[in-house]
Amino acid sequence: MKSFTRILCFLILVLLFAIPARASSTEETAVEKVSTAEVSTEKAHLVAEYLSYNYDRRIVTATGTVILKYKEIDLQADYMEIDLNNNSLVARGNVKLHDKDRDAEGDELVYDLDTRTGVINGMTGSFTDPGIVGSVFMTGTSVSIAEGEYIMDDASLTSCDREEPHFKIEADEIDIYLKDKIVMRRVRYYEGRFHLFSLPYLVISLTEEEKGLQVPEFGFSASEGFFVKAAYGYVINKDHSGIVRIDMMNRLGMATGIDHKMRIGENFTGTIGVYQLLNQQNTHVDWRFSLGAEQKIGKAKVNVSGTLNHLATATREDYNTYQLRASLSGQGTAGTLSLSSDYRFNERSEETYFNASGNTNLKWSSGYSLSLLGSFRLLESPNFSTGNTTTSRLADYSIRAAKAWDFGTLTLLFEEKANLDAVQGATTWKALVRQPEITLQFPKVPIPLLGDFNVGLGFSRYIEQPSEIVSTRTHGEIEKRALNLTKGGFNLALSGKVRGNYYGTEEYLFTETVALTWNQRYLPWLRTSAAVSWTSAQGETPFTFDKPTIGASVTGGIYVEHKVIQVSLTSGYDFQYERYRDISGRIRVNFGGKDYLQFVGSYNPTMERFSLFTLEGNLDNDLLALKAKVIFDPNEKQFRQADVNAALKVFKNWTLQGDINYNIQMETLRQASVGIVYDWHCREIKLSYDFTGQAFRFDFVFKA
């Protein structure tokens, strides 16, 4: 009997999800009462206490703690029937399905393994989504599941993980479209077991722009006065949905608006928005109109949007503002592409802003690559008192082509950077052109006893404005990036570079750079370091942009790196300018967990002045979370600024929060707010007041 069992398992192993029907017998062959039977192929893995296979119908029947693993699907049930003709199955009894980011349990499941679609009856489960922090738990008498969506009948949702949830939303039908929205029809909201209200339908967005359940906002601000802002989502069908907005502000007036989203086919999405305010301050009707469109073309995406604002001054002088945006982006196996533009115009100030930029990076398996970058920015701002217009135009582009081999890389670069409206003498140069720059790099050239060196050769033609200098430049360089000597806690690293430039103006420039770095660790928590760098140059360059910075400097420091205390003290000396560098110090004491106290400051020996001292501390425990920072000016012997962020748990679920940013020197309160938060397990209630903006608001948040 055991040999027969092994033979049968082998036959099912070969047949399952792999070969067409080839047996003419209608008899059913079975594995009878073995403790565990296991069947595996490249596509599936099936374990059960009892297995049978019908050759004629090509149906596998499994009972008794059945476990199926297929691609990203894990399925368990008491009974499972798998049809190998179409890779579908029926599972019954204690069904548990795990598929990517979703889990479901139920009484019965009819499922297509290839399309990952099916129907599960008596379901309980959960899902997550990029637009959700945590999980959403759901139940349904009958649920149709597909890639990225659920269609549920007689269903309920909640973000509360308790067996008796604090709240739940029941609906006759719930459609969940992952990464998009949840649509519920004939909705009933429950607090515990109490039915509070009903709605004809409810939409919860899962997108980053309009994330979560829309809850009315209550508050007060200096500009708006007392306000209530409500948003209600609607769905016409799968391709048409939107949000209706009603805002009531006692100082500004009442505003209404609608944002509608439409889909045409699989690749086009359009948006249209209208918002109108009956402005009480100038008895004017302010309105905003916006349009947007997104079109997917293969792996590319095109976005276009426009916004028109119709406003008025305090004296009721009408004016408009315009904004137009467009972008194109795409990514494929060969590379990436990105283009964008932004245009803005204000009729009142007559200011114009325009920006356009683009880049593409392409790579081929043969080692070729191409990179294109460019941008243009325009800003025009009139001065009504003088009648003049200030114009600023900035432009740049670069074209880089390269070919890589195992031994080196050849690069061709065309580039121009220009400030088209720079005032002569205001900048050292306002335009630099490479026409072109050709470089050949050999990253690993072996030299006996010294290791690998980086060798480079190049030729270029430059134009530098406003000096009107045009010249070629031929260069060669050799660089040793790191020559290390390590022994115990001692490390010595030596690097150097020599470069020679010859210009078409018959000038030449040689530069030599050497860097020596030393590190010594005395104890696991104590080390010192020092670095010496030296650069020299011989000759002259006709250009400004490649003038070398010559001279030598030495820097060093001592570091204590204990888990309780960290201390660093660093300084240096610049031989070119014959002056000491800042003496900088940092002390940090850790008290365990996230609690610490830190001091940072420095002293300039040349100026004989201290920098601003910063004292910062953090305290975080079950009762209090406090972060404070004080800035002190030791030269003037006065405090400059104080920042405090605190959260104090006053009761079990109540937390008092406060934020203060105070300029002590100017005696100005830059920002201050206080709020009290009630953590209602799966929900949060917050009442806050902003002292600087003179505004308070009430927030009710569903946590998920």
Task: Report the range of poorest mean pLDDT among 177-191, 551-565, 623-637.
Answer: 177-191
Residues near 197 by Cβ (< 8 Å), separated by ≥ 6?
Answer: 188, 189
Least confident segment among 74-78, 158-162, 269-273, 555-559: 158-162
pLDDT given at position 679? 87
Which position has the token pair 């349904």? 140
What pLDDT digit, counting tens, does each position of 403-453 carry?
999 899 999 999 887 776 654 444 444 567 888 899 999 998 888 877 889
Question: 3-state DSSP call for residue 5?
Answer: helix
Residues 6+ apart with CB under 8 A from 573: 553, 554, 579, 580, 581
Residue 128 pLDDT more than 90?
A: no
Instruction: Read off the pLDDT of residues 380-399 as tens digits, 9 standing for 90 and up.
Output: 888 888 888 888 888 888 99
**Quick check: 49 and 36 in contact, CB under 8 A?**
yes
Q: Is pLDDT at 22 greater than 70 in this prediction?
A: no
pLDDT above 90: residue 477? yes
- Mean per-residue pLDDT, 636-650: 93
Q: In whole angstroms, what is the distance from residue 436 CA to residue 292 CA?
A: 41
pLDDT band for 605, please (50, 70, 90 cuts).
Answer: very high
Rounded Cα–Cα distance for residues 302 and 294 (Å): 6
Query: What's the whole-number average pLDDT of the chain?
Result: 85
Is residue 208's pLDDT more than 60?
no
Helix (H) or strand (E) holding 258: strand 253-264
- The H or E element that residue 11 is part of is helix 2-15
pLDDT at 69 over 60: yes
CA 451 to CA 470: how far, in whole Å?
A: 39
What is the structure's pLDDT at 384? 80
Question: In terms of Cα–Cα distance, which of 130, 72, 167 is closest to 683?
Answer: 167
Distance of CA 277 to the CA centre of its chain: 34
The end-to-end CA distance of the chain, in Å, is 55
CA distance 82 to 69: 13
> Selecting from 2.60.450.10, 1.10.10.10, 3.40.50.720, 3.90.245.10, what CATH number does the domain 2-205 have?
2.60.450.10
Mean pLDDT, residues 2-8 taken together: 40
Contact 335, 362 (CB under 8 A): yes
Residue 383 has a pLDDT of 83
- For 266-310, write each residue's pLDDT tens digit: 899 999 999 999 998 888 899 999 999 999 998 899 999 999 999
> What does the pLDDT look like over 189-199, one tens digit per residue?
898 889 988 88
For residue 540, give Cα distances in angstroms to 318, 476, 549, 635: 61, 16, 12, 43
Per-residue pLDDT at 31 exceeds 70 = no
The pLDDT tens digits of the residues spanning 77-107 come to 999 999 888 888 999 999 998 877 677 888 9
**Amino acid 395: pLDDT:** 85
Cβ–Cβ < 8 Å for 169, 152? no
Bridge partner list, 125: 104, 138
**In Å, how far are 15, 119, 146, 356 from 87, measured between CA atoms?**
13, 15, 15, 52
Evaluate whether 147 touches 114 at the Cβ level (below 8 Å): no
Quick: pLDDT tens for 489-512.
Answer: 899 999 999 999 999 999 999 999
Partnered with residue 656 across adjacent β-strands are 648, 676
Q: Percent of the chain scored above 70 by pLDDT?
A: 90
